[in-house]
Amino acid sequence: MSVYTLPDLQYDYAALEPTISGQIIELHHDKHHATYVAGANTTLDKLAEARDSGDFGDFGDFGAIVGLEKTLAFNVSGHILHSIYWQNLSPDGGDKPDGALGDAITESFGSFDSFKAQLTAVTTTVQGSGWGILAYDQLSGRLLVEQVYDHQSNIGIGNTTLLAFDAWEHAWYLQYKNVKADYVTALWDIVNWADVAARYTAAKQITSV
């Protein structure tokens, strides 16, 4: 039984053109995201087998269990981030948020333009593969911009992702070639602020930290 499933896109592959080509969206969703979903399910199966057999590898060299836990974090986080990324984008997106989210951005970063500059810089300068993220920190009640490596590193645990910019090359290279900065700049034209605002409202209800 699969625990995780690939969500359908809420728009056609080509709906985000010209910002992101239909070819990129199709490959990114149907191949890359699907691989993380399959990887998460496979890793859960392997962990169940390890529990059943009592074989967690050779503790002397930090064996199989260490690799399985890292693989679980990588694939589950990849699945979650991509699921958010698709919903964060819309052919009707762009501009900037108002209301409670707009106020929170101003409070946390000084202004929308300052926030935009920080998230743009964070996404553009990821070394290797990663993400630029706007997150809500339950502990402080503030919004934070985070630079995530791979899918799961360099991130504040327990923070809730509101907006995720995929900085992996598979998200842009076929269209933007070596000019990553142009992809990140263009992303702002398709941000679905209604989705981000809904995530902010929901995140504020979580008070378990």
List of residues contacting Fe ion (CB under 5 A)? 166, 168, 171
Whichever of 13 and 168 has its CB closer to Fe ion, that residue is 168
Smallest gap from Cβ 171 to Fe ion, in A, equals 5
CA 126 to chain centre: 13
Closest to Fe ion by CB, 146 or 166: 166
CB of 102 to Fe ion, least distance (A): 28
Sheet with 160-166: strands ordered across: 142-149, 130-137, 160-166
- Shortest distance (Å) from residue 54 CB to Fe ion: 36
Buried b (16+ CB within 10 A) or exposed e, 70-85: ebbbbbbbbbbbbbbb
β-bridge pairing 142-149 and 160-166: unpaired
Give me the helix-helix angle, 112-124 and 180-187, nearest 10°: 150
In the complex with Fe ion, the residue whose CB is nearer, 29 or 199, is 29
Give me the least distance between CB of 69 and Fe ion, in Å please: 22
Residue number, 37 or 105, with CB nearest to Fe ion: 37
CA distance 193 to 87: 10
Q: Report the residue number whose CB is nearest to Fe ion.
A: 166
Residue 147 tokens read as: 């630079």
